[in-house]
Structure 1
Amino acid sequence: MTDVHRAIGTHGFERLLHHLVQLRASQINRCAYCIKMHTQEARRDGETPERLDRLIVWEQVDDFSEREKAALAWTEALTVLDGKADLGALRARLRAHFTDQEIGVLTSIVAMINLWNRIQVSRH
């Protein structure tokens, strides 16, 4: 799994958004270990405490760009699988802000953090 993370890291996806995506999925999955780790990493890489504090309500605040909001919506849709979710509309929203390659990288980031969260939660 570590090798997958290294491969994802070679694609140049912006680090702060990477952290936000990992942290948001970890919040949803209630993975305390991952929340602590990704919060620390985000702060170390320059994310502000204010944005981290409001990540849980990202849809209701204007702290996040439309690009970030599209990524966070995708993160939530792939973390909480809901048969009623309109993934087509979410993909269209993504395409307004990301290339196909970036969408693939983002999807991989979400998939991997969900896997890590489940492993860590199983150890609680």
Structure 2
Amino acid sequence: MKARIDFRNAAPDVFKAMRDLEAGVRRSALEHSLLELVKVRVSQINGCGYCLDMHIKEALAAGETGQRLYLLSAWREAPFYSPRERAALSWAEAVTLVSTNELPDELYAEVREQFDEKATMELTLAIIAINGWNRLVKACRTEVGSYVPAAVA
């Protein structure tokens, strides 16, 4: 597919705001591995090839196993995810699909068992950020496949 628009140059101030949100997520106390799992799962739901390519490469470069990434779309059936990761993935799915699903109190309670108030907000903002990136790069048809992780570059 041909790219539609280069959002970095077309709206640099707005792009900077997105980058600032992402920088805040990276500065959070949440584990890098957890953030990458959440970003991959949300990108799977949204069908975002660019973000899948990016975050799978980032996760692998940071030491994530292929097995956990291959099975991420079926994480409820796989024994490879911790209770903390499971709570984050459940929350990520619910927040991503908020237009068609509720955010039940039981799920929030499950999240709060694993994350304090600050971490819950950081996780929620990380989910909001990757949903925004997914929508931005899909709308602009950003080229898929060329991303090189910083650890490799």
Task: Please give the TM-score of this superposition, normalised by the length of structure 1.
Answer: 0.95
Q: Which residue of 1 aligns with 2:29?
A: 12
Tell me what 1:63 maps to. 80
Write the distance in 1 (CA, Å) between the matches of 2:25 and 2:48.
21
Structure 1 runs (4+) greater than 4 angstroms displaced: none
Q: Is the 8 A contact 2:39 2:127 kept in 1?
A: yes
Q: Give, in angstroms, the shift of residue 83 of structure 1.
A: 5.1
1:76 corresponds to which residue? 93
1:47-76 deviation line (CA, Å, top 9, x unaligned): 000000000000111110111000000000
User: Which among 91, 94, 101 is matched to residue 108 of structure 2?
Assistant: 91
Percent identity for Structure 1 against Structure 2: 37
Q: Does 1:122 align with 2:139?
A: yes
Residues 72-98 of structure 1: per-residue CA shift (max 9 Å, x gap): 000000111255534211110011111
Q: Which is helix-richer, 1 or 2?
A: 1
Q: Give the TM-score normalised by the residue count of structure 2.
A: 0.77
Paired residues in the alignment total: 124
Say what the alpha-carbon RMSD is for the aligned residues. Answer: 1.2
- Does the Cα contact within 8 Å between 2:95 and 2:103 map onto a contact in 1? no
Q: Is structure 2 residue 67 aligned with structure 1 residue 53?
A: no
Q: Which runs of 5 or more structure 2 residues have no equivalent in the other structure?
A: 1-17, 142-153
Cα distance change, pair 46–2 in 1 and its aligned pair in 2 (3 A): same
Distance 1:39 1:78 in 2: 21
Contact 2:41 2:72 in 1 (8 A): yes
* SS, match of residue 122 in structure 1: helix
Q: Which structure has the bigger radius of gyration?
A: 2
Q: How much does 1:116 deviate?
A: 0.5
Match of 2:46 among 26, 29, 53: 29
